[in-house]
Amino acid sequence: MAEAVLTLLGAILLDLALGEPRGSFHPVTWMGRWLDEWWRLRPRRGPVRQFLFGTTTVLLGAMLFALPWWFLARASLPLFWLWSIPLLKVTFAVRALLRAGEEVLEALERGDLPEARRRVRWHLVGRETADLPEPLVVSATVESLAENITDGLTGPLFYFALLGLPGAWAYRFCNTADSMWGHHTPEKEYIGKFAARADDVLNWIPARLTALLLVAGAALGGEDPRAAWRAMRSQHRRTASPNAGWTMAAMAGALGVTLEKVGYYRLEGGDGPRDARTIRRALRVVRWTMGLVVGVSAVSAGSLVLFSAGPVI
């Protein structure tokens, strides 16, 4: 129990102290390159062939990046839990997400809307932002902050608590595959379908857990937990994703603002202004929520080790 908790807390401290490794040394970069190499071998026609290719590639990749840590854990290496700290840290990103929101906030506070648009596009969203007015730049920032708590923290820690390092790494690979292949385009529709559905399934529990903790985080951050609960319950189905709407709707209610991606969804938490102060308030809620996620994950990791047949790490 103690080793798993120490690994988790050590990984959090390492993230807060150092942030992300350089791109070429980051395992997500390795995962992306591996997917790129396989992409070159993809079948060009045939929905069934493309789907089977995508499914096989994702399953093979998840095993490739997860199984080494399973074997090392079973080898009972001395102080393996200590070496597990950086290995767990690279599966999540707390400091990077908070810093991304802070950079957009800083640009808006000095009145540089073009730079705020560039930063939100570079760090947080895939949509085009060049012509967005300030309220929609704020909305995109807050939506992404809320949604990425799940991908960037809760998901990896949930699967670490459940399955140890192999679980955290397999989750991160599937999430990376979804971000690269899980798009509704003619070229990726069938190849990326399994990656997209796998990511939906893997995030089903983490997204709902994150939303509940966000409601609590709203209370601790001085926002409106009751409104967060109401918006979460009534509006989580408004997004195309079965998971993203839970945290985004909760954040909209907590802040009393409307979050929207024009032409796709509109989450009506209230009529409050969408300005730089809204991002600052959202960041406060995100910090409290992340703290709760870490606490719940640490307790869960310890409990699962206590009742498991072997070490989680």
Lowest mean pLDDT among 81-85, 109-113, 178-182: 81-85
Asked whether residue 283 is assigned to any structural domain, the reply reads: yes
> What is the reported pTM?
0.93
Range of the domain at 143: 2-307
Specify the higher pLDDT residue, 128 or 244: 244
What was the pLDDT predicted at 1? 61
Which range has the top average pLDDT, 1-5, 17-21, 152-156? 152-156
The encoded tokens of residue 173 equal 């690979």
Asked whether residue 312 is assigned to any structural domain, the reply reads: no
Asked whether residue 250 is assigned to any structural domain, the reply reads: yes
Asked whether residue 166 is assigned to any structural domain, the reply reads: yes
Read out DSSP for 37-82? HHHTT--SS-HHHHHHHHHHHHHHHHHHHHHHHHHHHHTT-TTHHH
Asked whether residue 192 is assigned to any structural domain, the reply reads: yes
Q: How far apart are CA 178 and CA 54, in angstroms?
A: 11
List phi, psi (to 5°) of 153: -145, -60
Share above pLDDT 90 across residues of the chain, in percent, rounded to a whole number: 81
Rounded average pLDDT over 122-146: 93
164 Rama class: left (phi>0) / alpha (psi -120 to 50) / beta? left
Q: How far apart are CA 27 and CA 20, in angstroms?
A: 10
Average pLDDT, the chain: 92
Q: How far apart are CA 285 and CA 301, in angstroms?
A: 24
Asked whether residue 313 is assigned to any structural domain, the reply reads: no
Q: How many domains does the chain have?
A: 1
- Could you read off the pLDDT of 227-258 as tens digits, one per residue? 999 999 999 999 999 999 999 999 999 999 99
User: How is residue 268 annotated by DSSP?
Assistant: E
Nearest to 73 by CA among 82, 63, 61, 64: 82
Q: Per-residue confidence at 311, pLDDT binned at 50, 70, 90?
A: very low
- Residue labelled with tokens 């989450």: 267
Query: What is the β-pairing status of strands 258-261 and 265-268?
Result: antiparallel
